[in-house]
Chains A and B, each alone.
Chain A
Amino acid sequence: MERHEYDVVVIGAGGAGLRAAIEARQQGKRTAIVCKSLFGKAHTVMAEGGAAAAMGNVNPSDNWMVHFRDTMRGGKFLNNWRMAELHAKEAPDRVWELEAWGALFDRTKDGKISQRNFGGHEYPRLAHVGDRTGLELIRTLQQRVVALQQEDEKLHGDPEAYIKVFAECTITRLLKDGDAISGAFGYWRETGDFIVFDAPAVVLATGGIGKSYVVTSNSWEYTGDGHALALLAGAKLINMEFIQFHPTGMVWPPSVRGILVTESVRGDGGVLRNSEGRRFMFDYIPDVFKDKYATTEEEADRWYNDQANNRRPPELLPRDEVARAINAEVKAGRGSPQGGVFLDVSSRLPAAEIIKRLPSMHHQFKELADVDITKEPMQVGPTCHYIMGGVEVDADTGAASVPGLFAAGEVSGGMHGSNRLGGNSLSDLLVFGRRAGAGAAAYVDGLPKRPTVTGVEEAKAEALAPLERTGGENPYEVHHELQRTMNDLVGIIRKSEEISEALEVIEKLKERARNTASSGSRIYNPGWHLALDLRNMLLVSECVAKAALMREESRGGHTRDDFPGMSAEWRRKLLVCSAEPDGTSITVEERVQQSMRGDLISLFERSELEKYLTEEELAEYDAAVKES
């Protein structure tokens, strides 16, 4: 069996994985990047809007404290505040660093990086390149990896001496030595041959779980691999009930249903209308945001040119609010012909300006839907976009509870609380990708000796099982049923009976998934790959459903029809998922969240905190304010 020895193995080659790998290599560690797709194809390319970083290039009033506050507000105060703090403080450096690696962001008139408005951000904050920022980010990091390889070639005569990409390779198990990580087991997609990584540190950067849903903006890779690998290795997941449904996915044609329409459309003036032509978002401004959003169309429209003296248009409310509003309009029978609502930019900006600011969207609608967005409105509706929940990590190092295991980006949990602001994902991957890479490097430095790989035979048997069975279940059918179940029963709006029903279905699907059979050889066999991915999707879906059933309130990306209000008691609680030792089922436990540090909580007004915190916590706030 093919075997490699590394210091750090990074699983996933999106923004977080590449940034982690770059950091580990820059700290002198022999680093492997293992990814399911080709190098440079990761889902990060889909990010459109930008990377949020309080550089203050467009509005000098912006700073990390404002960004921190926006992030906590967006997450409804459930965020891991230390992560939100580090993120807000370090994002500008991470963006500037990309520029030194060759990224070409759009510019301001004085030659700095331009920043755009986005939902939930008080000031223009998103560094961007048109609406293809994710591509710029991934390409820049990819080219940085190549630059490091060129350095290594000069120094060591081998470009892959210190950093190597294992593309189209899937990890199915983390390997351990006692309690600690000792490596990873996987297969080459191309040949079906197995591969073992012998490594004391593993960084998970596998992204999200969207493929458990029918309508999703996520690609096939998003099967919750890192979430499941972490669970099976004994780590814990938090906040799994919080899933962000992006308010504006394409609804037509059916084959592209779910594909994203960037929030920049709204940031740049696009408005949402129902079938009666009403700009309905004015009807959905929640109390906690009342004083920050315009209440008339006139004021909202003035804001685009004069942000100092007007409040923001309600189309720019955080994503969860907009998604629920669209859902409600469609349910009330005021939707568009294909079951969404109208997003119109054609009547708001000149055609040339639309093409300049939203080139990818113009292209995407023209090519995929035969719609010219400079002439007619788009039809949009909510789509499963992002999971706030993930591996519970130490904010500073990205370390999970299992020694040697690290996580960064979407697969980690805590940073975004119950709802992520647009633009905070690209900055999250940079900030915490770097931190996880550094955390892994420091962990390796501190080890007295390398751990020993165990469990290879078991991992191999598990991976081969679907190929050895005949006449079993079709993995595509099991997958399809899981997607329908999650979409219909644990979607945007949830209720107890439906979630319970979903859990019953998941139990049955788990049984069926254990009995899947894949025909064909081991060479590039997607049916086999899917059969293996099902284990991960089912574990993750069980976490989502069980946590969703337990949390009896509505907050951010978790809306309970039977518990519509936000509860201060629930805000203090995190739901922590772990797998049974045999890996067949999930248990969920409540844990009390640590109180915010005094200097951070003092950044908020009491009147705002009263909407979120318990009396006990408010007393802590008063004490903190008095002290400062």
Chain B
Amino acid sequence: MGYKAKFRVWRGEGGEGRLEDFTVEVNEGEVVLDVIHRLQATQAPDLAVRWNCKAGKCGSCSMEINGKPRLGCMTRMSTFEESETITVTPLRTFPVIKDLVTDVSFNYQKAREIPSFTPPADVKPGEYRMQQVDVERSQEFRKCIECFMCQNVCHVIRDHEENKPNFAGPRYLMRIAELDMHPYDVAERKESAQEEHGLGYCNITKCCTEVCPEHIKITDNALIPMKERVVDRKYDPLVWLGSKIFKRQR
């Protein structure tokens, strides 16, 4: 049943910190977040960690466990050896506020840069008619719980602070794809994805897809199709000619 686990947790605030060692009780069926909570209740009452639903639905408890971005609430202790030292650190791409809590405001800023859902002006609430098959593509992306682990792991910004202003990150490029695939959205999404939100930075290494706790196929289903649509628009001479002749509606 229960055993004592060795935990190494990053502690610190104000730009300074270090890994601290703990020995802590673990019981059958527990997840990493349970152990962090036990540390709070018994050894480190001011240990900072974000969490909320504890069921993998809110995306609050993102952290790096043995160097991999994971949700603390969805990482079962039974996936580790009892003798293993488990190292828990904050998400690396975002500035640390304290301990395991990082400043994720970058993501909210990016969210605000993506133009919102834009339906045709003449469709009234209650009049929307869409087939299931047509909403399913966007529905997959709307499963996103905004844990920001894809943003954290994406190498375009993980170690390249300088790319942050020009790159929305997988979560928000996927948001653009979601809107572009929405049956009723009429806004231009393709050129701006490339020109303003940095779709071109993505070189489809699929790191985002690998860490997604919702198993959304971010690269295959959102980013690659979006890149293809951009290419169609940019280089298709017919589309180009059409846009010159019939001034596209905005």
A: residues with CB less than 8 A from B are 37-41, 43, 45-46, 92-93, 96-97, 99-102, 104, 106-107, 110-112, 114, 129-130, 132, 135-136, 139, 143-144, 146-147, 149-150, 159, 190, 219-221, 252-256, 259-260, 360, 363-364, 367-370, 474-476, 518-521, 523-528
Contact = CB atoms under 8 A, between A and B. Distances in A.
Contact of B53 (A38, A45, A143, A519): A45
B182 A107 contact: no
Interface string B137-181: 011001111100000000000000000000000000000000100
Nearest to B104: A38
B132 to A, nearest CB: 4
A159 B101 CA distance: 26
A360 B57 contact: yes
A476 B45 contact: yes
Contact of B135 (A101, A104, A369, A521): A104
Given A46-B55, A102-B182, A256-B54, A143 B117 contact: yes
Interface of B: 13-14, 27-31, 34, 40-41, 45-60, 74, 76, 78, 97-99, 101, 104, 108, 111-112, 115-117, 119, 123-126, 128-132, 135, 138-139, 142-146, 179, 182, 214-215
B31 A219 contact: no
B60 A523 contact: no
A45 B51 contact: no
Contacts of B45: 474-476, 518-520, 525-527
A147 B117 contact: yes
Contacts of A93: 125-126
Nearest to A104: B135
Nearest to B125: A96
Nearest to B111: A146
Contact of B55 (A97, A111, A114, A259): A259
A475 B46 CA distance: 12
Contacts of B139: 104, 129-130
A150 B112 contact: yes
A527 B55 contact: no
A159 B46 CA distance: 34
> Considering residues B54, B74, B76, which has the most beta carbons from chain A within 10 angstroms of its beta carbon?
B54
Contacts of B130: 104, 107, 111
Contacts of B143: 132, 135
A253 B53 contact: no
A139 B52 CA distance: 16
A39 B60 CA distance: 10
Contacts of A260: 55
A110 to B, nearest CB: 7
A130 B132 CA distance: 12
CB-based closest 10 A-B pairs: A253-B29, A520-B46, A102-B117, A527-B45, A111-B129, A147-B116, A524-B48, A96-B125, A96-B126, A524-B98
A207 B59 CA distance: 19
B60 A254 contact: no
A254 B29 CA distance: 6
B117 A253 contact: no
Nearest to B183: A104
A628 B112 CA distance: 54
> Considering residues B60, B101, B142, which has the most beta carbons from chain A within 10 angstroms of its beta carbon?
B142
B56 A367 contact: yes
Given A38-B104, A99-B125, A252-B29, A523 B13 contact: yes
**Chain B interface mostly:** loop
> Considering residues A41, A101, A106, A221, which has the most beta carbons from chain B within 10 angstroms of its beta carbon?
A41
B55 to A, nearest CB: 5
Contacts of B129: 110-112
Contact of A524 (B76, B101, B119): B101
Contacts of B138: 104
A139 B214 CA distance: 15
Given A102-B117, A139-B142, A520-B46, 17 more contacts: A37-B58, A38-B60, A45-B145, A46-B57, A93-B126, A96-B125, A96-B126, A100-B125, A102-B179, A106-B132, A111-B129, A129-B139, A219-B58, A256-B29, A518-B46, A524-B97, A524-B101
Contacts of A37: 50, 52, 58, 60
> Considering residues A43, A255, A367, which has the most beta carbons from chain B within 10 angstroms of its beta carbon?
A255
Contacts of B13: 521, 523-524
Contacts of A132: 57, 143
26 contacts: A37-B52, A39-B108, A45-B53, A96-B126, A96-B128, A100-B123, A102-B116, A102-B182, A104-B138, A106-B135, A107-B135, A114-B132, A129-B139, A159-B112, A255-B30, A363-B214, A368-B55, A474-B45, A476-B41, A476-B45, A520-B45, A520-B46, A524-B98, A525-B45, A525-B46, A525-B48
Contacts of B54: 219, 256, 259
Contacts of A521: 13, 46
A463 B138 CA distance: 45
Given A104-B142, A521-B46, A524-B97, A97 B125 contact: yes
A59 B54 CA distance: 36
B40 A101 contact: no
Contacts of B49: 526
A160 to B, nearest CB: 10
Nearest to B14: A523
A40 B60 CA distance: 10
A474 B41 CA distance: 9
Nearest to B59: A41
Nearest to A105: B135
B53 A135 contact: no
B51 to A, nearest CB: 7
Nearest to B144: A139
Contacts of B53: 41, 43, 45-46, 219
Contacts of B47: 526
A146 B116 contact: yes
A512 to B, nearest CB: 16
Nearest to A114: B132
A112 B131 CA distance: 8
A370 B215 CA distance: 17
Contacts of A150: 112, 115-116
Given A40-B146, A110-B129, A523-B13, A364 B34 contact: no
A135 B34 contact: no
B34 A255 contact: yes
A517 B124 CA distance: 56
Nearest to B124: A100
Nearest to A112: B129
A445 to B, nearest CB: 26
B46 A526 contact: yes
Nearest to A520: B46
A100 B135 CA distance: 14
A146 B112 contact: yes
> Considering residues B29, B59, B104, B108, which has the most beta carbons from chain A within 10 angstroms of its beta carbon?
B29
Contact of B58 (A41, A256, A370, A524): A41
A380 to B, nearest CB: 14
A111 B45 CA distance: 53
